[in-house]
Structure 1
Amino acid sequence: MARLCGYANGGGGLVHAEAAFLRRAASRFLIADPPESRNGIANWLNDQGHRTALGGLWRGETLARTLSNPRMAGLDSDGEPIEGFGETVLTPDEFLRLLRIFTDGATAAAAPRVAYEYLATQGIADCGSCGYDMSGARVNADAGPGYRCLPPTQTRKSCGKVRMNADRLESALAEEVLADILRPGVHEKLLRLQLDAAKEVVRLRAHVEGAEERFATLKSMRKSMLPQAYKAAEAATRDDLKACQARIRFLEQITSVPIADVHEIVAWWMSAPRASQRALVHLAVTKVHVLPSGGGRGHDPHGRIRIEWRTGLS
């Protein structure tokens, strides 16, 4: 059975660092009116670097379940004090107040929001400090969409220090991309890149259409191959097909952007689907570096981004 966060073992004995942040989390439920959302407080804990007893990220449900455990207040399952339990994370009064909050649904999840479709994810934007890709995320359940460099882990050497609101980053990026396209000479280069993408789509479609024949040829050789070699060749052929199909979908977005008439691009952008806007950004830039807010860059979103334009542009 997993250790209860805040305690060294089932019989008590505080882990003081964990008890401290659990008390702060409980106070955010108890003091605010109406109480903060479960997910909002869980995200706050994660942002502060606090983790569950198993080392995982906090979720609203996990936090509520932890604070609803009667041992948080040194009580048994019947609500009676456990003899000799020692110091507790919560007082019995705090525990009962939290139970009422959770039971009454005062912190129930808000109505589902329409999912936000980010413009500069999928490898477009990275952290200007550590180079890791930026992720679309909200600081808490009530915050607007934003970009963040994820906190570091054992396998991810990101810095977790750079954030930027989505409306600021995306507006600045769109302005710079559209302005660059309107500069003399750039439009023609984009048209050539789009033509190259269209040619690649034709080549990849032919490659996909030949997949059935490649699988049939491979199957005919099965008896002459070692089982492990056949499985590896079959997996590689299947992975190649999936990669080609994904590449075609991406390139088709680029080829569908109506950039033949440069003067219509701005009007098109205002009503274009997000996938098509992202395709135009992919066509124009290789990477958008999101810089920290220091150095006087905080108030001007253009000062927070540095764009690497595709070869031959800008």
Structure 2
Amino acid sequence: MPRLYGFDDASRRRLRDDEVDPLRQMVSRALVDLSVSNADVAVWANGEGYRGTLGGEWKDASVGRLFRNPAIAGLRYDDDGELVDAGHPGAITREEFEALLEREKARSTKDAEPAYDYLLIGGGCACGKCTQDLGGARTNSGTPGYRCRPKGKSGSGGCGEVRIDAELLEDYVGENVVAELLKPGIRAQIAKAQAAVRKQVEDLKQDIEDLEGRQSELGRLYGNREISSEALVAGERQIAANLKDIRSRLRYAEQMANFSLGHAKDLVKWWNSAPTASKRAITLLLLEKIEVFPASARGVRTIEPGRVVLHWRTLSGMSGG
């Protein structure tokens, strides 16, 4: 069986560097507009010189199969048909994959709402009250927005007190990012910062390799009856949690490391037409954190002073995180 695009081998233990960015751009182009078909994505990918794992050109069907495979987001379907962590890295976020599924449904239903390509999901912005990451969520009227999800029965979630219109927040962040990019010398600083991020990428990959080695060692110790089943389960649970965290950090570090402004002279025009993956990468590179606080009253359609707080990175001194 051929390997899945974006992965080094059939076991999907490691992402393939030269395929990850093309895959993210394909997904971003598919999500930006419901009128963009899988065939359109295939034409774009072929025009850029990208080919499938067996060297063939992309087709409508092959793009569709790729987009429907949860493994590209590090997920799988369990026996109940629910999406769960597959235990291997993913090239895109869970939210992006769920948006692909939403897009699939929307394309087959005339009156369905089109999928929305959220710019700041997956840790791009956080609740200013409880620090919980904001997720994408439509309002009752169907308008895309971000919200702090309240705690569920499992105990996961946040305070549930922050909601904001997606377009309002993204336009505000975009205006500030473009203004930052227009500052003298910023491209040189970005280049230095990306060099530091590339070092982070290598360090994170080494951390993953070390943890996977510890996983194998646990199995060997249990097989030799040197540790109990309880110790095996506890150790594997801790390693799995660490791997999930590091793989998430690696995914975003790779996006930042691979981003390029190219020769974009009109930055406003570039921002308005660039794939979401590219805009997300530069946003992550420039902003360490985006905090969103509650509006002063329900229905407020402006960014009031202090409602959105942007924490800019010190590019020349980027490290860790």
| TM-score (norm. length: structure 1) | 0.52
Please show how residues 232-243 of structure 1 align to structure 2 within 5 Å: 232-243=234-245
- List per-residue Cα deviations over 1:198-256 (Å, max 9, x = no partner): 11222333444566654443333333223322332334344444444333322211112
Please report how far the alpha carbon of residue 138 of structure 1 lies from its aligned counterpart in structure 2 after TM superposition.
Answer: 2.2
Q: Whole-Å Cα distance in 1 between the matches of residues 149 and 241 of structure 2?
A: 29
Which residue does 1:284 correspond to in 2? 286
Please report how far the alpha carbon of residue 196 of structure 1 lies from its aligned counterpart in structure 2 after TM superposition.
Answer: 1.5
Task: State the percentage of identical aligned residues.
Answer: 32
**Alignment partner of 1:306 is 2:309:** yes
User: CA 1:216–1:299 in 2, change beyond 3 Å: closer, same or farther?
Assistant: closer
How many aligned positions are there? 202
Query: What's the C-alpha RMSD, in Å, of the aligned pairs?
Result: 3.5
Q: Whole-Å Cα distance in 2 between the matches of residues 220 and 134 of structure 1?
A: 40
**Alignment partner of 1:255 is 2:254:** no
Q: Whole-Å Cα distance in 2 between the matches of residues 239 and 183 of structure 1?
A: 40
Q: Whole-Å Cα distance in 1 between the matches of residues 152 and 245 of structure 2?
A: 28
Conservation of the 8 A alpha-carbon contact between 1:125 and 1:289: yes
User: CA 1:215–1:289 in 2, change beyond 3 Å: closer, same or farther?
Assistant: closer
Q: Whole-Å Cα distance in 2 between the matches of residues 275 and 203 of structure 1?
A: 23
User: CA 1:267–1:302 in 2, change beyond 3 Å: closer, same or farther?
Assistant: farther
Conservation of the 8 A alpha-carbon contact between 2:288 and 2:312: yes
Conservation of the 8 A alpha-carbon contact between 1:291 and 1:305: yes
SS at match of 1:301: coil
- List per-residue Cα deviations over 1:104-141 (Å, max 9, x = no partner): xxxxx97322221211232322344555443322221x
Q: Which amino acid aligns with 2:199?
A: K
Q: Whole-Å Cα distance in 1 between the matches of residues 123 and 184 of structure 2?
A: 28
Which residue does 1:54 correspond to in 2? none
- List per-residue Cα deviations over 1:31-90 (Å, max 9, x = no partner): xxxxxxxxxxxxxxxxxxxxxxxxxxxxxxxxxxxxxxxxxxxxxxxxxxxxxxxxxxxx
Q: Which amino acid aligns with 1:273?
A: P
Q: Whole-Å Cα distance in 2 between the matches of residues 257 and 294 of structure 1?
A: 37
Q: Which amino acid aligns with 2:238?
A: A
Q: Which amino acid aligns with 1:271?
A: S
Please show how residues 57-96 of structure 1 align to structure 2 within 5 Å: none
Q: Whole-Å Cα distance in 1 between the matches of residues 212 and 150 of structure 2?
A: 44
- List per-residue Cα deviations over 1:168-208 (Å, max 9, x = no partner): 11111101012112223444333222212111222333444
Q: Which amino acid aligns with 2:310?
A: I
Q: Whole-Å Cα distance in 1 between the matches of residues 194 and 179 of structure 2?
A: 18
Q: Which runs of 5+ in 2 are unaligned?
A: 1-108, 317-321
User: CA 1:229–1:265 in 2, change beyond 3 Å: closer, same or farther?
Assistant: farther
Larger radius of gyration: 1
Q: Which runs of 5+ in 1 are unaligned?
A: 1-108
Conservation of the 8 A alpha-carbon contact between 1:204 and 1:248: yes
Which residue does 1:89 correspond to in 2? none
SS at match of 2:136: strand
